[in-house]
């Protein structure tokens, strides 16, 4: 995950360099040189920025590149040039054959800066702040003893042999008491760091593999900055080396990857919300169309019923048309009205228990005087 390169919003490739990219850059620079680093990625067929190509070439790929510990002469020259030029690391690196400006800068901040500052504070106020070659040699070669009787400064070969011989014979059960029994004028912390980071057998140096970086990231998420515990899971790696590798390489990558993940999750959340809104709008639209359709059907049915009712009522109201169409029936009714009803007929003679449900057929068999003029109730 960490070592996978990615392309930013400007189309520039970021992350670890591949072997194919190294070969392209090396072949182009060896053939055409590097007159313009900004234009070089375009003609070399690389999706990198000019700064990345320059740093890759100067710090890793250029021939005769010198790595490893600095000699006394190199340290003296760096201090001298820094007093003259300041933090112009490129100009200082030109005076050191095979050293890159980034390597010189890291060596200054990690080793030389603190020594020069300590020497300046112990020097008299009348002396100049700039160090001459004698002061530089004294600072680098002659260790000093502080007010507590503890020796500070670079370790000598004799001290390394004493520490190595004591630990190989007795181990290191107590770092605080170890310098006393080993015959060293050092503190316990200095002895522990010297052994763990430089002298112990099986110490692994060099580039970290992909599996080691993944394990460091995983353990850092679980344990935090417990570098000693993390280093125990990496055979041959010291806690100080693991810590430096995290802050120099992994921390920034993990932060950038987390930002990319957060942005993608935010965009996914927004797309899901927009999808839900669109889905809700579609559902509401379907419901609205369904209601409009049902309303139109109801209106059509109501209008048809109303039309039928109007037709029926008009047929009953328009009696003249009905009489003309059924003259025979009207003539039969007129004949029936002219016939006299029997005198014995009476509404009380045959009482009706339930007027609403009782049929009217038996009424016509009774005699009624002047049927058309008699009230029904």
CATH number of the CATH domain containing 21: 1.10.10.60
Residue 118 burial (C-beta neighbours within 10 Å; 0-12, 13-18, 19+): middle
Q: Which of 57-66, 150-159, 258-267 has the lowest mean pLDDT?
A: 258-267
Chain-wide mean pLDDT for the chain?
75
Residues 215, 276, single domain; the answer is: yes
For the cut 90, the answer to whether the pLDDT of residue 279 exceeds it is no
Residue 310 scores a pLDDT above 50: no
Q: In 3D, which of 15, 1, 100 has the Cα closest to residue 52? A: 15
Q: Please give the average per-residue pLDDT across 244-264, as a whole number.
A: 84
C-alpha 357 chain-centroid distance: 83
Instruction: Count how many domains the chain has.
Output: 3
| Same domain for 211 and 283 | yes
Distance CA 157, CA 274 (A): 70
Last residue of a domain, one of 294, 324, 347: 294
Who wins on pLDDT, 200 or 129?
200
Q: What is the per-residue DSSP string for 116-135? A: HHHHHHHS-TTS-SS--HHH
Does residue 370 lie in a domain region?
A: yes
Per the model's pLDDT, the better-predicted residue between 282 and 373 turns out to be: 282
Residue 217 shares a structural domain with residue 280 = yes
What are 202-217's pLDDT values in tens digits?
888 888 888 898 999 9
Residue 350 and residue 276 share a domain: no
> Is pLDDT at 363 greater than 60 in this prediction?
no
The mean pLDDT of 48-64, rounded to a whole number, is 87
Domain boundary pick from 294, 321, 340: 294
Six-digit token string for 36: 């313009």
Tokens of 17: 């360099």
Cα–Cα distance between 136 and 78 in angstroms, integer? 10
Q: Cβ neighbours of residue 231 under 8 Å, at least 6 residues apart?
A: 237, 238, 239, 241, 242
Give the HSE-up count for residue 78: Cα atoms under 13 Å, Cβ half-sphere.
29
DSSP state of 357: T
State the burial class of residue 32 (Cβ atoms within 10 Å of its Cβ: 0-12, 13-18, 19+). exposed
If asked whether residues 338 and 288 sit together in one domain, one would say: no
Whether 8 is covered by a domain: the verdict is yes
**212/289 same-domain check:** yes
pLDDT band at 35 (very low <50, low <70, confident <90, very high): confident
| Residue 369 within any structural domain of the chain | yes
Taking phi over 0 as left and psi of -120 to 50 as alpha, with beta for the rest, 370 belongs to left
In-domain check, residue 99: no
Q: Averaged over 241-262, what is the pLDDT? A: 85
User: Which two structure tokens, joined as six digits, stand for 277?
Assistant: 């809104």
% of the chain with per-residue pLDDT over 70 = 64
Confidence of residue 219 (pLDDT cuts 50, 70, 90): very high
What DSSP character marks residue 361? G
Residue 319's pLDDT is 45
The whole model's pTM is what?
A: 0.36
Answer whether residue 345 is part of any domain. yes
Q: State the pLDDT confidence band at 10, using cuts at 50, 70 and 90.
A: confident
In a domain, 261, yes or no: yes
Q: What are the residues facing 14 on neighbouring strands?
A: 6
Q: Is pLDDT at 264 greater than 60 in this prediction?
A: yes
Residues in contact with 288: Cβ distance below 8 Å, sequence separation at least 6, in sequence order = none
User: Does residue 265 lie in a domain region?
Assistant: yes
In this structure, the answer to whether residues 221 and 289 fall within a common structural domain is yes
Domain coverage including residue 265: 207-294
Query: Domain boundary at 248, 274, 294, which?
Result: 294
């Amino acid at each position: 995950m960490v070592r996978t390169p990615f392309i930013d919003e400007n189309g520039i490739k970021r992350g670890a360099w591949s072997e194919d990219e190294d070969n392209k850059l090396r072949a182009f620079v060896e053939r055409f040189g590097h007159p313009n680093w900004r234009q070089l990625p375009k003609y070399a067929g690389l999706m990198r920025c000019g700064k990345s190509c320059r740093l890759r070439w100067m710090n890793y790929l250029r021939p005769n590149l010198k790595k490893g510990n600095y000699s006394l002469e190199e340290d003296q020259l760096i201090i001298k040039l820094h007093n003259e030029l300041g933090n112009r690391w490129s100009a200082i690196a030109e005076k050191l054959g095979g050293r890159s400006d980034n390597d010189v800068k890291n060596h200054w901040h990690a080793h030389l800066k603190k020594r020069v500052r300590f020497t300046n504070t112990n020097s008299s106020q009348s002396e100049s702040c700039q160090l001459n070659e004698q002061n530089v040699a004294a600072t680098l070669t002659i260790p000093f003893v502080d007010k507590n009787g503890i020796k500070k400064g670079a370790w000598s070969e004799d001290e390394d042999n004493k520490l190595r011989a004591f630990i190989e014979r007795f181990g290191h059960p107590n770092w605080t008491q170890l310098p006393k029994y080993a015959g060293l004028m050092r503190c316990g912390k200095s002895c522990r760091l010297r052994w763990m980071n430089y002298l112990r057998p099986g110490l692994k140096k060099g580039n970290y593999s992909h599996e080691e970086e993944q394990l460091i990231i995983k353990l850092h998420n679980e344990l935090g900055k417990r570098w000693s515990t993390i280093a125990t899971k990496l055979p041959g790696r010291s806690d100080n080396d693991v810590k430096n590798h995290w802050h120099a390489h992994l921390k920034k990558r993990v932060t950038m990857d987390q930002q990319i993940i957060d942005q993608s999750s935010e965009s996914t959340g927004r797309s899901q919300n927009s999808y839900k809104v669109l889905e809700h709008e579609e559902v509401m639209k379907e419901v609205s169309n369904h209601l409009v359709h049902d309303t139109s059907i109801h209106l059509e049915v109501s209008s048809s019923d109303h039309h039928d009712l109007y037709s029926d009522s008009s047929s009953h109201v328009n009696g003249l048309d009905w009489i003309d169409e059924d003259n025979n029936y009207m003539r039969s009714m007129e004949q029936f009205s002219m016939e006299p009803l029997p005198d014995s007929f009476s509404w009380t003679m045959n009482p009706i228990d339930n007027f609403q449900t009782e049929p009217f057929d038996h009424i016509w068999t009774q005699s009624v005087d002047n049927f058309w003029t008699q009230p029904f109730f």
